[in-house]
Structure 1
């Protein structure tokens, strides 16, 4: 077809034997509509189904990831396919997605949304209706003990090498949970990359509204779309002790985490306070390419010479989330966990305003005189009341870290006590917190 990239030529250029078997064949979708000239080439199989009756199959662990849109098997890599029976990760075909975008992204510029959007809009609406009628049975008023672990990064015994245990109110809004709890206790940079929470019971995704981080371009790799996480609470994602929740950080690197609900406290024992209990292992460096790669990185670290270990320590410490370290690299131990530093990060996050998702942290390298002023002109319209563009030069002074930050109060639905982390509620006035009695 004129204007389309030849599939066979492209796939051979990528070192692959042939294009997927369905490419070039006309298939009729059960629900979505195609623009004229779109044969459905390179469109994942799920989008040919009917989203009104979509009932995804769980993976090897009985969990549904990313709306159930992707397969869980890796046909081209038997070793990885066997390994994934323990991890249950979805297999996204990036080459297929690239071909789909290159061939058809400009065909849907009129009134008809692209097939992926048509399909996802129905899934989102179905989940919204379900959540609107759900009875949380008071779960949102109770505290839970959770453990978050980095999936696929294991020690020699096969146990998670990096994890944190903490107590939190199940009534905390998911947006605040990520921004003021998970990011600081794990050690990730706040408001740097996009993320999603997964309800493993049906694969529904929840993520940040208006997120403008650079990795958002990979949204199709991790589920295409999600419900706004500032409308839902942690209690919406589980129902009983032992339930697990998915948390994915960074759409590019795809750091997969599992959050397990270890205990649900009785109402009379629930204070709402957010408390870090303990943990193990230092957080990976930002932009270190994800769980599989980091596990291999640590294996090489374990087997390396002192010089090799020193080199790998410096690689981690050069990451944006280790600017605070301030010690000799020799003192860094990837298997240690400094609870005091994590609690300091948690306290700092709780006492600050929520992150501005429309202005995430980005690194800007000017390529000509006046370039930073041009960036100011582009970002200034995004700045709202009580917000400002925070700028910080990097070590060599060549580039600049930029982020829109807020000094205003968080919205009531996302607010937590600045001292203890107890979330706002109809019966909780945060001028004086009902948990720690500290004045806001």
Structure 2
């Protein structure tokens, strides 16, 4: 009763049916998108981790899913959003209902909104128990860069050595940043079951 631990995601039975999801961060150029296969049995808590790590975010910020008028998120001590339903008890299939799209929001300060489209239901040759990245383009923006407008300014400053913020942002990011960088194998390494 005295300690608080982060939510755990209990493994679900593997499924031979998967949703193919297309995820795109809104208002970001160059366009940042990922395509995932996730088991139809996936819970929203595990889906959050899949989108988070598969896109390239580091974590540590509040998130929510928006399915029409329904909002789902993690119930955390000290955070009280009465309109948010606890995501841990809900699967993607249950939250979707007949919908084919929803929104995933990460970091309420930077307000990274991800449009998620269910492209199709896939019958797999072998069952999966967690998300798999099957495609994507461009690097995930850095954390705490100021949302889509801040990311645009960040890229402009990095591209122009004469920009007043060029050196400061270069130091902040740790040297260089390639907005076109994306590696599907690296994304899947981040999605290995051990991270869950």
Q: Which of the five TM-score ranges fits, normalised by the shorter chain?
A: 0.7 to 0.9
**TM-score (normalised: structure 1):** 0.37
Q: CA deviation at 1:167?
A: 0.6
Equivalent in 70, 74, 81 of residue 204 of structure 1: 70
Separation in 1 of the partners of 2:32 and 2:113?
12
In structure 2, the CA distance between the partners of 1:166 and 1:199, relative to structure 1 (3 Å rule), is: same
The answer to whether the Cα contact below 8 Å between 1:149 and 1:164 also exists between their aligned partners in 2 is yes
Instruction: Answer yes or no: is the 8 Å Cα contact 1:145–1:262 preserved in 2.
Output: yes
Does residue 105 of structure 2 align to residue 248 of structure 1?
A: yes
Give 1 or 2: higher helix fraction.
Answer: 1
For the pair 1:227 / 2:96, whether they are aligned, the reply is no
Partner of 1:182: 51
Q: Do the aligned partners of 1:150 and 1:255 also contact (CA within 8 Å) in 2?
A: yes
**Residues 215-245 of structure 1: CA distance to partner in whole angstroms, max 9, x if unpaired?**
x58x5xxxx63000001011123246x8111
Shift of 1:296: 4.2
| Distance in 2 separating the partners of 1:162 and 1:313 | 21
Alignment deviations for residues 190-227 of structure 1 (CA, whole Å, 9 cap, x no partner): 3x111100103xx2100002255xxx58x5xxxx6300
Task: Give the structure 1 partner of residue 4 of structure 2.
Answer: none
CA 259–211 in structure 1, closer or farther in 2 if over 3 Å, else same: farther
Q: Secondary structure at the match of 2:58?
A: coil
Among 33, 36, 46, the alignment partner of 1:166 is: 36
Count how many residue pairs are aligned between Structure 1 and Structure 2: 180
- Structure 1 pair 289/315, CA: closer, same or farther in 2 (3 Å)? farther
Runs of 5+ unmatched residues, structure 1: 1-139, 156-160, 319-328, 355-440
Larger Rg: 1
1:250-277 CA-to-partner distances (Å, cap 9, x unmatched) read 12221111111111124x6572353111
* CA distance in structure 1 between the aligned counterparts of 2:92 and 2:179, rounded to whole angstroms: 30
Normalising by structure 2, what TM-score? Answer: 0.77
What's the CA shift string for 1:113-138, capped at 9, x where partnerless?
A: xxxxxxxxxxxxxxxxxxxxxxxxxx
Partner residue in 2 for 1:351: 194
Contact residue 205 and residue 227 of structure 1 kept, 8 A: yes
Gaps of 5+ in 2: 1-14
2:18·2:38 contact (CA, 8 Å) conserved in 1? yes
Q: Are 1:314 and 2:159 matched, yes or no?
A: no
- How has the CA–CA distance of structure 1 residues 346 and 246 changed in structure 2, closer, same or farther, with 3 Å as cutoff? same
**SS at the partner of 2:152?**
helix
Q: Does 1:153 align with 2:25?
A: no
Answer yes or no: is 1:294 the counterpart of 2:163.
no
- Find 2:185's aligned residue among 321, 337, 340: 340
Q: Which has the higher contact order (CA 8 A, sep 6+)?
A: 2
Match of residue 63, structure 2, among 166, 176, 195: 195
**Cα deviations by residue, 1:336-377 (Å, 9 ceiling, x for unpaired):** 212232222112xx214x5xxxxxxxxxxxxxxxxxxxxxxx
Q: Residues 187 and 283 of structure 1 are in contact (CA less than 8 Å); yes or no, is this contact kept in structure 2?
A: yes
Give, in angstroms, the shift of residue 312 of structure 1.
7.4
- Aligned residue among 148, 160, 163 for 1:305: 160
Distance between the aligned counterparts of 2:125 and 2:185, measured in 1? 25
| C-alpha distance in 2 between matches for 1:272 and 1:209 | 27
How far residue 315 of structure 1 moved from its aligned partner, in angstroms, is 5.8
Match of 1:264 in 2: 121
SS of equivalent to 1:152: coil
Larger % of strand: which?
2
